[in-house]
Structure 1
């Protein structure tokens, strides 16, 4: 019966697709008042897909030139902005008109421009701006996406994340890890706020963040739970960068910093909750299983594991499949996974009782909880 329904739906969708592709139907739908709304919506979506790269470049230019910072104090004229941005008046107006069309800027009275609603959101979010300024690396690799899909070119992004194909990652020095470590640290506050708002870490004694970078997530967790002890595990050169952050946050006395390779080295024991923040989607299945099994070996039955990352197919975050699918392709390792695919990896690793938490911004991250069995 199920196969019959699937076949019937396939035939129905094939008929729909042929109809939408028919130029006569397209003209009719634009002329028909009832169908016009849907036709215009499809046309706008097609425009966004076609022009999306240009939109991203406008955003990047606004971020790189400091447009949002210039407008945060109030609207300015083209002449005033031209001096601040280091552009000619003509180029400034072109950028402002483009930004206004995307709600990054807004035309105001007297020939002035202010922040648009999206521009204001970016102005108040330095972490998001750091990610915007990182995008040209990915865009360069996507200049020929077909070659990338066919494996005919090595993406430059793979070199930005040097651990992605290194057999001895612990040999990396500070100079090699500094760029990506700083980017991860800059973008972590947004993720930490989402995850810690969805899950109460104060019910636990010790939290271990595996692949914890410079300790931004652990600082946020420790601030929410004053009794919580924290353990950070990352490559030696990365983990050492967390020491100054922990000291500044006043949590060094309840923190343990461990340099190691989470794929190969035994992990510190004693944690009753472990977090993996944007780690699993950077790994292929074999390496993801190695990480999860290593964590399971370090915790007692009943311990909690939080997987915190963008996940495929989550309602409200569907376009992330396109972004993370090609980002991980350029990086050279990993893929976005559906919740059920992650749950299968967890079961193979000795975890069960999984549940996906509800959170405000699934476009930023999802939070999957599992228990060690």
Structure 2
């Protein structure tokens, strides 16, 4: 370990001993210069404690349709209660909670309207669809210790994403497509596919990304590869503009010809062994110098850590497979298939997706 690393470890030990000391806690609150820091850290700790309640308030407002209802026009608390069929006191409790989280807001005239988070949800309906989907995750999280330890085997999220028998193909494809436009915008802004002649989207779902790529690059030849039931949904959406191929990227060869492939929010849905097989299949397909564009939220980054390393890891535990990875981890795995990491492109919304460019060697 480097000298700097040892110094950081010593500082962590000192910091933790101070923060755990009741006398230092009292000093920090009493001392004017330290008080704002102590207050922020205390609030952050209580936010961790109450986070489950915040998510339930958010879920309830979306489940009841309050976002759409209040986007149309503000309502009085009495009118809102009447529309919900709730006793006014019960409705007031929900409104009070949602206002505190900036999901809803009270006007100067006392009407209930959307807060900043509520307005953002109205403009991004795909987020609301994921929020409603969380009823499955909440059920699986009834015993988080069993879920994280692997003792819980039967999970509703796992059943929903059961790609093997594809019995939920329509439902999970629709859910993924709801957010795919936001991801497509990040990918297309980060990489110029116009330098290529033939793009294949591996695990391309219903073709939302390729539809956006076709608009941006009308001369680009396009192909999509996904499970047969999903591929049929893509065929319905895309028509003759895109070549559709049904199969499994874990067991089947990818169609020859493309000089660039995309892997959009696929790697983090799979365990390491599966990702290695996907990389190998893509490398067998690509010519030397061909490009793989991988897009998904990345682990190990301060700006996205609570989403990637807390939320997604719990979700993947319920899904029964998958994990978030750093660029270095992905680079090491891709290297086993002769795919060299070329660039980690900056995106405007890394919580939606970061973009990695690999070159076939």
TM-score (structure 2 length as normaliser): 0.96
Deviates most, 260-269 or 136-145: 136-145
Deviation at 1:4, TM superposition (A): 4.1
Match of 2:352?
Answer: 364
Match of 1:236?
Answer: 228
Whether 1:271 aligns to 2:258 is yes
Match of 1:166?
Answer: none
Match of 1:125?
Answer: 124
Match of 1:96?
Answer: 95
Deviation at 1:81, TM superposition (A): 1.5
Which 5+ residue runs of structure 1 have no aligned equivalent? Answer: 164-168
Q: How far apart, in 2, do the equivalents of 1:206 and 1:278 lie?
A: 20
Match of 2:137?
Answer: 138
Task: Render the CA deviation track for 1:317-345: whole Å, top value 9, x for unaligned.
Answer: 11121111111111111111111000001
Q: How far apart, in 1, do the equivalents of 2:51 and 2:220 lie?
A: 44
**C-alpha root-mean-square deviation of aligned residues, in Å?**
1.4
Residue 276 of structure 2 is aligned with which of 264, 289, 314? 289
Deviation at 1:204, TM superposition (A): 2.0
Q: How far apart, in 1, do the equivalents of 2:325 and 2:139 lie?
A: 25
Alpha-carbon distance change, 109 to 4 in structure 1, aligned in 2, over 3 angstroms: closer
Residue 202 of structure 1 is aligned with which of 194, 201, 212? 194
Three-state SS of the structure 1 residue aligned to 2:252 is coil
Task: Render the CA deviation track for 1:172-229: whole Å, top value 9, x for unaligned.
Answer: 35x4322212111112111111211222222222211111111111111111111122
Which 5+ residue runs of structure 2 have no aligned equivalent? Answer: none
Contact in 1 for aligned 2:200/2:258 (Cα 8 Å): yes
Deviation at 1:315, TM superposition (A): 4.1
Contact in 2 for aligned 1:70/1:81 (Cα 8 Å): no
Matching of residues 1-373 of structure 1 within 5 Å: 2-154=1-153, 155-163=155-163, 169=164, 172-173=165-166, 175-247=167-239, 252=240, 254-319=241-306, 320-373=308-361
How many positions carry a matched residue from both structures?
Answer: 359
Deviation at 1:93, TM superposition (A): 1.4
Contact in 1 for aligned 2:331/2:341 (Cα 8 Å): no
Q: How far apart, in 1, do the equivalents of 2:195 and 2:86 lie?
A: 54
Contact in 2 for aligned 1:354/1:369 (Cα 8 Å): yes
Deviation at 1:353, TM superposition (A): 4.0
Task: Render the CA deviation track for 1:110-159: whole Å, top value 9, x for unaligned.
Answer: 22111111110001111111111111211221221111222221122111
Q: How far apart, in 1, do the equivalents of 2:247 and 2:261 lie?
A: 16
Q: How far apart, in 1, do the equivalents of 2:179 and 2:282 lie?
A: 24
Task: Render the CA deviation track for 1:226-264: whole Å, top value 9, x for unaligned.
Answer: 1122111011001100122113xxxx2x31011001011
TM-score (structure 1 length as normaliser): 0.93
Contact in 2 for aligned 1:282/1:333 (Cα 8 Å): yes
Q: How far apart, in 2, do the equivalents of 1:353 and 1:157 lie?
A: 32
